[in-house]
């Protein structure tokens, strides 16, 4: 997408505005496991539309609905065996895996909301269990129960699947076993607002429509649209397949709830390079909080916002991440995507991520003040210490978790043994470099000078760079030589080169 192309968020905003000026952009998820960057595409897409609509003067709000009343489907790999006793129960009524949160749902939801705030996304957050218990769904439940046959016909016609004769759009929660995936509706009372049920555990009982159960997903989704006045909603391609939940939801919304369905934004998956689509249930995922340890929040937004929703994103947390941050820092590519990626947090430092990766390895564990000295040697402004600290932490975490081995290095305190095999030409090159560095040079000047040094010493350029790295790191390659040498203590480098050329 070039600078002249209108950004996809603005295109969608214009189409949405043709329906009116007042809008609710909705997003949501079931907090059944760690909420990863694959899930993040939905909420970042929603936020981009929200901001594009707001920029165009719309009366718009952004909401996030957590499906905390959904049942636990199975015992996921990250859970202990004791959770077998909780399969089928609402996530909001299951114990927290770590014991520090009010429920299983909150265990995964709270870190996600914190991550959203770091990303500059502040939606109105609603929890499904609270909505049901507050009675927000009562009228929708009544309408669904009375229209059971019409809804069943829509589901059969659109999805092509057969329904059991006793199918109901409402799933009561058993007062005995606490499950909502093992009950069947046997009757209901509109005046009392109650539903009768029988459960596989043998219990028969009556529950209130106010929190005593929930609508099945394909009915719950369209039922919430008029409750919140939803006009725009992104969702994954799994919901958009022919006969899928959006196809059935459109008809249920119009024919049962008399509500025009929201403008749909279908998004593709974020794939983990070489491993496929991310799923928290399989363990193939990187959590948003984990990503925010290694990438500035505005860059994580940029990863998603620069790409059209219908195109899949292949995420590579390795070397490609350096290129992504450099692209963002240089404001190359789509400037509108850059604008929509801004957060209200710490403004990013001018120090490129790639150079910060070099600087933190030079500074090692000598403290923050020494890191500032390393950066100042390369000519960077270090006045914004908060921004530098954030990016330095990102760089260290990236080095520890995802950096390829060839990016890592350690400046050797003692003369590396490899220098013993240096040729006369290599020693000559180091001798010339030592003399010139004593005079004082910028990183760019050092880089530009390396090829002339190679010529004077009778070597090819590649061999000079290799010689420099071997003398300092004991490796044949390393970070960009000019800025690397400028970042080191000048007296140390001169002494090392003289010693190695001895």
Give the per-residue pLDDT at 468: 96
pLDDT tens digits for 305-333?
999 999 999 888 888 888 888 888 876 55
pLDDT of residue 85: 96
The mean pLDDT value of the chain amounts to 92
In a domain, 95, yes or no: yes
Task: Report whether pLDDT(277) > 80.
Answer: no
Verify that 82 and 230 share a domain, yes or no.
yes
Q: Is residue 91 part of a domain?
A: yes
Q: Pseudo-torsion of CA 256, 261, 266, 272, nearest 10°?
A: -60
Instruction: Give per-residue pLDDT as tens, 331-380.
Output: 655 788 988 998 877 777 889 899 999 999 999 999 999 999 999 998 99
pLDDT band at 194 (very low <50, low <70, confident <90, very high): very high
Same domain? For 139 and 225 the reply is yes
Question: Is residue 164 assigned to a domain?
Answer: no
pLDDT tens digits for range 195-226: 999 999 999 999 999 999 999 999 999 999 99
Cα distance between residue 109 and residue 52, in whole Å: 26
In a domain, 461, yes or no: yes
Cα 130 from Cα 92, distance rounded (Å)? 9
Which of 301, 324, 345 delimits the end of a domain?
345
Kindly state whether residues 444 and 333 are assigned to the same domain.
Answer: no
Q: Is residue 386 part of a domain?
A: yes
- Based on the domain organization, do 16 and 154 belong to the same domain? yes
pLDDT score recorded for residue 34:
83
Q: What does the pLDDT read at residue 472?
A: 97
User: Is residue 25 scored above 80 in pLDDT?
Assistant: yes
Average pLDDT over every residue of 99-124: 94
CA distance 221 to 213: 15
286 pLDDT more than 90:
no
For residues 203 and 227, state if they share a domain. Answer: no
Could you say which of 354, 383, 408 is where a domain stops? 408
Give the residue numbers spanning the domain of 208: 170-215
Structural domain includes residue 259: yes
CA distance 388 to 394: 10
Q: Buried (b) or exposed (e) across 438-447, using 16+ Cβ within 10 A?
A: eeebebeebb
- Tens-digit pLDDT profile for residues 411-444: 999 999 999 999 999 999 999 999 999 988 888 8
- Do 123 and 24 fall into the same domain? yes
pLDDT band of 274, cuts 50, 70, 90: low
Say yes or no: 283 and 393 in one domain. Answer: no
Give 177's contacts (C-beta < 8 A, 6+ positions apart): 88, 199, 201, 203
Banded model confidence at residue 74, pLDDT cuts 50, 70, 90:
very high
CATH of the domain at 263: 3.40.50.620
Confirm if 374 and 363 have CB atoms less than 8 A apart: yes
Number of domains in the chain: 4
Looking at the domain assignment, is residue 493 inside a domain?
Answer: yes
Is 279 in the same domain as 321?
yes
pLDDT value of position 3: 42
The CA-based angle 56-59-61, given to 5 degrees, is: 105
pLDDT of residue 88: 97
Query: What is the rounded distance in angstroms from the CA atom of residue 375 to the CA atom of residue 356?
Result: 8
Q: What's the pLDDT score for residue 284?
A: 61
114: Cα separation from own chain's centroid: 12
List, as one string, the DSSP characters of 175-236.
TTT--SSSEEEEEEETTTTEEEEEETTS-EEEEETTTSEEE-HHHHHHHHHHHHT--EEEEE
CATH number at residue 493: 1.10.10.350
Share of the chain above pLDDT 90, in %: 79
Is 2's pLDDT higher than 60? no
Domain shared by 189 and 242, yes or no: no
Does 54 share its domain with 43?
yes
Q: Do 5 and 27 share a domain, yes or no?
A: yes
pLDDT above 80: residue 105:
yes
Whether residue 193 sits in one domain with residue 63: no
* Domain final residue, candidates 345, 367, 382: 345
């Amino acid at each position: 997408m070039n600078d002249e192309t209108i950004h996809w968020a603005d295109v969608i905003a214009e189409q949405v505005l043709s329906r009116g000026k007042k809008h609710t952009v909705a997003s949501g998820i079931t907090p059944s496991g760690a909420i990863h960057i694959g899930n993040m595409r939905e909420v970042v897409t929603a936020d981009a539309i929200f901001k594009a609509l707001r920029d165009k003067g719309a009366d718009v709000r952004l909401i996030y609905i957590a499906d905390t009343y959904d049942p636990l489907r199975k015992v996921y790999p990250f859970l202990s065996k004791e959770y077998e006793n909780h399969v089928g129960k609402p996530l909001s009524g299951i114990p927290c895996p770590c014991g520090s949160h009010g429920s299983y749902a909150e265990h995964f939801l709270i870190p996600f909301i914190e991550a959203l705030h770091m990303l500059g996304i502040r939606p109105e957050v609603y929890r499904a269990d609270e909505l049901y218990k507050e009675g927000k769904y009562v009228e929708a439940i009544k309408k669904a129960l009375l229209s059971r046959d019409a809804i069943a016909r829509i589901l059969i016609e659109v999805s092509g699947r057969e329904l059991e004769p006793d199918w109901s759009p409402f799933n009561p929660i058993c007062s005995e076993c606490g499950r909502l995936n093992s009950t069947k509706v046997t009757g209901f009372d509109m005046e009392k607002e109650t539903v009768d049920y029988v459960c596989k555990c043998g219990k028969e009982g009556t529950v209130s429509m106010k929190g005593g159960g929930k609508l099945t997903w394909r009915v719950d989704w369209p039922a919430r649209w008029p409750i919140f006045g939803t006009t725009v909603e992104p969702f994954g391609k799994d919901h958009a397949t022919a006969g899928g939940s959006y196809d059935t939801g459109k008809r249920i919304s119009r024919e049962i709830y008399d509500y025009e369905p929201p403008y749909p934004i279908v998004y593709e998956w974020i794939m983990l390079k070489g491993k496929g689509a991310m799923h928290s249930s399989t363990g193939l995922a990187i959590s948003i909080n984990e990503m925010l340890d290694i990438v500035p929040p505005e860059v994580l937004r940029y990863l998603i916002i620069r790409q059209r929703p219908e195109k899949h994103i292949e995420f590579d947390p390795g070397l490609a991440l350096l290129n992504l941050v450099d692209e963002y820092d240089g404001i190359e590519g789509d400037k509108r995507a850059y604008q929509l990626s801004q957060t209200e947090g710490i403004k990013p430092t001018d120090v490129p991520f790639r150079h910060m990766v070099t600087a933190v390895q030079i500074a090692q564990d000598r403290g923050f003040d020494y890191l500032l000295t390393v950066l100042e040697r390369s000519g960077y402004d270090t006045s914004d210490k908060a921004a530098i600290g954030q990016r330095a932490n990102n760089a260290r975490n990236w080095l520890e978790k995802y950096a390829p081995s060839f990016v890592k290095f350690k400046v050797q305190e003692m003369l590396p043994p490899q220098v013993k095999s240096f040729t006369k030409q290599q020693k000559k090159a180091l001798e010339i470099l030592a003399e010139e560095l004593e005079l004082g040079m910028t990183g760019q000047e050092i880089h530009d000078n390396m090829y002339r040094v190679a010529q004077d010493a009778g070597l090819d350029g590649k061999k000079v760079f290799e010689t420099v790295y071997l003398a300092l790191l004991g490796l044949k390659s390393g970070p960009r030589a000019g800025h690397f040498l400028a970042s080191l203590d000048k007296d140390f480098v001169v002494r090392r080169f003289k010693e190695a050329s001895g």
